[in-house]
Amino acid sequence: MTKGLSATPTALVSSAEWVDEILLDGANNEACLWSDGPIDRARLRQMVVEWQTLTSDAGLRPGGRLALRLPPSPAYVAALLAGWRTGAQVILLDHRLTQFEVDAALRRLAPQVVVSPTATRGSALRAFADVSAAAEPYPGAPADTPHAVIQLSSGSTGPSKVIGRTAADLVAEIDRYTRIDGVPLRGERIIVLASMVHVLGLVGGLLYGLHAGALVQPPERLTGDSILDAVAAQPTPATVLGVPFHIGLLASTADPPRLPQLKRMTTGGELVPAATAAAFTEKYRVPLGNMWGMTEVGVIATDLFGEHRPALRPAPGLDVIERDGQLLVSRPQSPYVGLSDPTRWADGWLHTKDAGTVDPDTGLVTVQGRLDSQISVGGLKVDLTEVEATLGALPGVVAAVVLHDEVITAFVQLAPPATGDTVDAAITERLAPFKRPRRLHVLDTMPRTTTGKLVRDRAVLRQAVSGKDVG
């Protein structure tokens, strides 16, 4: 295991110095990042300073707010670290959001500077984009909370939650990683498939890798062959970090080469289907590790050797309990920015909305699925209530119900002149592709209960389907 951070002074993590001491420290010639070739620490530090100048020229100051709307890329990494090194709060916006969603998020979160791409070159399948970017002023306000990073739970409209994490919280999570057996070590590589805009790729890949001295190496493209090429490209041990979608991708790759460099694959997100896990381990003969985490906390529990599947062991420094069938995680403060919802956090406990159990003898945690409407699509979180609220707000939509029925499925009742085609076109402008319904059923009348509530029973809605599917 790598060296822990428990002795890190609070004063250090509450200032901009934590970026230099915890993330950028190391030998100048040590390769820390890969993008069409190695980027060493001296070059990364230079890039961070350059982005500090760019954002400062756009008006960013210590205590300010910076929004990043960039795909994972060297520019994203440098601008992120530059914002923190300046002492600003950084808002992360998924680059796949529509302009409608981005505009709503910017109005809601009020940054003072926004970094956006000016040109993106190459394939859309690139894991680490070749992007040029610019920093522009935005009529926002200074940060009014102590958080270093702000993220939206599932998008920028509807019921999404604003989640804030302090520098001390991020450092504590990095420390948890250093104390977990099986994580990549100095001189090894992390083949990062999970997006660095979200918590698994951000902390488990980028920030932990920078601290631990493990080379952060996205593949050239997010394809099975390209992932294997990245593993094979260098002789040092490699851990592949992704989500269940990526495991399925690799498990379906025909006749992969022998890869002595491959140390393990670790996945976050929903539980990997047993058949997919068996196919992967049979094909690659390495451990398939599992992790459970949340944007609000980061990593919560792990099983990096695949010994306890589907159970996991809580990460060092976290307490996990089961109450009324729901898993709760110890958190001294609410991670939510704004009014704290007692159904999400109360009395030092984060209510995960995940069903599960905790073994009283071993402490192992078994996650049994979501209690609320949040689902995972290809490793990306989607709140079905957000999709439903967006649909319901469209002109001509009388009523809407959105369920996950193998895919995101919407049932709508329309008033003329709205049609399935006009609704589909409108939703394309308002929601990112991974959130959009894959099936859209137009019903003459939505089923309702005797009290007038919309019926959400899948069997009843299937029976009521009429008209032509769209999308």
Does the pLDDT at position 222 exceed 80? Answer: yes
**CB contact set of 70 (below 8 Å; sequence gap of 6+):** 76, 79, 95, 115, 116, 117, 129, 131, 133
Strands 380-383 and 397-405: unpaired
**CB contact set of 211 (below 8 Å; sequence gap of 6+):** 2, 5, 22, 23, 174, 178
**Average pLDDT across the chain, whole number:** 89
Q: Where are the beta strands (DSSP E) in 21-152?
A: 31-34, 38-40, 65-68, 89-92, 113-121, 130-137, 149-152
**What superfamily does domain 376-464 belong to in CATH?**
ANL, C-terminal domain (3.30.300.30)
When pLDDT is averaged across residues 448-465 and rounded to a whole number, the result is 77
The whole-number pLDDT of residue 32 equals: 98
The residue among 423 and 123 whose pLDDT is bigger is: 423
Q: Among 41-55, 125-139, 441-455, whose mean pLDDT is lowest?
A: 441-455
Helix, strand, or coil (residue 231): helix
Cis upstream peptide for 72 (omega within 30°)? no
Q: Are 265 and 286 in contact (CB under 8 A)?
A: yes
Q: What pTM was estimated for this model as a whole?
A: 0.84
When pLDDT is averaged across residues 192-221 and rounded to a whole number, the result is 96
When pLDDT is averaged across residues 391-409 and rounded to a whole number, the result is 88
Does the pLDDT at position 11 exceed 80? Answer: no
Does the pLDDT at position 10 exceed 70? Answer: no
CATH number for the segment(s) 10-368:
3.40.50.12780
Query: Which residues in the chain are classed under CATH 3.30.300.30?
Result: 376-464
Query: Which residues in the chain are classed under CATH 3.40.50.12780?
Result: 10-368
When pLDDT is averaged across residues 87-101 and rounded to a whole number, the result is 93
Q: How far is CA 369 from CA 270, 320, 354, in A?
A: 8, 16, 6
When pLDDT is averaged across residues 321-332 and rounded to a whole number, the result is 94
CA distance 126 to 84: 26
Q: Among 145-149, 311-315, 343-347, 439-443, whose mean pLDDT is lowest?
A: 343-347
The whole-number pLDDT of residue 158 equals: 38
When pLDDT is averaged across residues 46-62 and rounded to a whole number, the result is 98
pLDDT band at 302 (very low <50, low <70, confident <90, very high): very high
The whole-number pLDDT of residue 8 equals: 45
The whole-number pLDDT of residue 91 equals: 97
